[in-house]
Amino acid sequence: MVFPVSGVKTYIFIPPLVALVVSFLTSMGGVSGAFLLLPFQMSYLNFTSPAVSSTNFLYNIVAIPSGVCRYIREGRMAWPLTLIVIVGTLPGVFIGYYLRVLCLPDPRAFKLFVGCVLLYIGARLLYEVSGKASAGRSGMQTLEAKFRQRTAELKDRGRSKIAAGLPPEAVVKTLSFSLKSVTYEFWGETFSFSTPAMFVLAFLVGIIGGAYGIGGGAIIAPFCVAVFHLPVYTVAGAALMGTFLTSIAGIAFYSILPAEGGLSTSPDWLLGLLFGIGGFGGMYLGARLQKFVPQKVIKLLLGGLILYVALRYIVQFFG
């Protein structure tokens, strides 16, 4: 099948199938998977114009709601964190659009920049799994100990392996929310972060995500875990919700705002919808199974994926 907007030629089942697998793996860490789908489109489908960024945004809009709804139903949405992420990333997406079409139309140059950013995040996230990084993190250690204890208890009762997840009472409870800081409780442990610092991070992430079409979840989720030391069980939903709303803004900017030099910036609607359909199913399954997977496994998985993409971005520039 040939997609007339992008010129992509591929089997119609390939986009949804690839999106299903990618989104299932990445949504457990609060990442939509767009950061992996974009290099797939560029490297394997030869879709390299700035319109590939807006098509990625379209994938996010279709795929993310299933995962977000699951996190809301299970009470694992950290709403203050979600609000700060949304408020910070929206203006960044606007700047990111012009950065992409005016300053960095060459995908090779911009992929180098994003590769350097993701290289740091991926390396930092993998470092968090090491014994040195976990020293002194009593809250996170206690959370992991509770997870292991519950897993052992449920296995001793003869229940199925899939049941060894978080209990129903493991929900996010906001304790305080101000312009200075946010504090919330999750499964008996207390976590907090600086409101201004999170806003600045979200703004910078919005610029990068707006330019590349990744929504920002691939960047902000690992930062929340690695730098702000928040549990990934509570970060995932907020990152996905922020990515969803900023992707709507990204679609609007790429479809309405003018681009110099006759660059094609509007999304390939059919291709994006096919990716989104596959992502919708993968996102739901990932959100459903996330609570059954220890944080260490999620960190290793997400860190490894990000590091892999980062190295590919960097190597392609010098190749």
pLDDT tens string, the chain, 319 residues long: the values are 999 888 899 999 999 999 999 888 888 776 778 878 988 998 889 898 889 889 999 999 998 888 888 888 888 899 999 999 999 999 999 999 998 888 888 878 878 887 888 888 788 778 777 766 655 455 666 666 766 676 566 556 655 444 445 666 678 999 999 999 999 998 888 899 999 999 999 999 899 888 888 877 778 887 888 788 888 888 888 888 988 998 999 999 999 987 776 677 899 999 999 999 999 999 888 877 877 777 778 778 878 888 988 998 899 888 7
Considering the entire predicted model, what is its pTM? Answer: 0.80
Q: What are phi and psi of 230, to 5 degrees?
A: -95, 145
State which amino acid sits at residue 225. Answer: V
Non-local CB neighbours of 232 within 8 Å, separated by 6+ positions: 29, 30, 221, 225, 295, 298, 299
pLDDT for residue 166: 61
List residues bridging with 191 in a β-sheet.
184
Give residue for tokens 């990333």: 89
Q: What is the dihedral of CA 278, 283, 284, 289, to 10 degrees?
A: 130
- Determine the Cα angle at 277 with ends 313 and 270, to 5°: 80
Alpha helix ranges (H) inside the chain: 14-27, 34-43, 51-73, 79-98, 107-129, 131-134, 138-156, 195-212, 217-226, 232-256, 269-290, 295-318
Q: How far apart are CA 220 and CA 248, in angstroms?
A: 18
